[in-house]
Amino acid sequence: MKQKRHFKRRFAVFITMLILSVFIYIALERAGLRYDLSMSRMHTLHPETVSLLKKVDVPIKFTVIQRTRNVGNKVLLYQTELNPVIYEFPKVNPLISIEIIDEEKNPSLVMEYNRRFKLNFGDRAIIATNLVTNKSAITYGNTEWDLDYLVFKVMRREGNYVLCFTTGHGEKNPDDMETRQGYYEIRRRLVENGYAVRRVRVYDGFVRENNCSAVIIAGPKQEFSDAEVNILTDYLKHGGKALIMIDPDGASLRDLLDHFGLLVGDGVIVDPA
């Protein structure tokens, strides 16, 4: 008898806690709050993603094309499950919307997208469209970073970001398509992604005159002069951005890097693949 009363008491506590949990969940949902209790944190966006989404000031639509394939008499999905993190994007910024199009249910609409984007057979495609400029970008990836890239690409205004490659010290040349040392292929990819690329010499005011968004120092052979080091140091200390690449047999750029407490080691990283 005592055991039965004890069971009833425990059951009543369980029901009470369950009802309380439901009420708390509903209250948090109405307040726009959500806690991710999954082991892999699959419903939680990275801070970088949240920062990017908060900068979106025009409507962006994600169109997810769910592709299928025929195997005998069966129609099978030809991909893994859609990453649930995509559903968190509109919660951060209501200007973002999502549309799911199933090829099996709406083949004519998928065919229309196929004509426009030349979709890969059997692969899921995720298309982001800036509804103001009608600019679109597509990915077949399924990660949070793939989705971030789509947002970044459709928000970008072509040519607004200028990458300035320094010259005059034996650096890699983004215009060189003849030699293996040339960076022409890198330049081509950058231009495809909306960047403008320029070759510049370092002099007082070169960043302003060339509208440089960032400076790229690509494996120089000779050291920069004291005047050039001072100009670059002043640029970086006032919020400038730079990508500095050093070849094992090239200039060390120690005079520049010392200003920022950076030391280049003597080791070399080799990719055996």
pLDDT digits 0-9 by tens, 134-184: 989 898 888 898 999 899 888 877 657 899 999 999 999 998 888 888 898
**Rounded Cα–Cα distance for residues 88 and 73 (Å):** 36
φ, ψ for residue 56, nearest 5 deg: -70, 120
**Which pTM value belongs to this model?**
0.56
Please give the structure tokens belonging to residue 240: 């400038």
Could you report the per-residue pLDDT of 82-129, keeping only the tens digit for each? Answer: 888 999 999 999 999 999 998 888 888 888 888 888 877 667 889 999
Q: Are strands 242-245 and 214-218 parallel, antiparallel or unpaired?
A: parallel
User: Is the CB of residue 174 less than 8 Å from the CB of residue 184?
Assistant: yes
Q: In the sheet where 242-245 sits, what is the strand order?
A: 195-200, 161-166, 214-218, 242-245
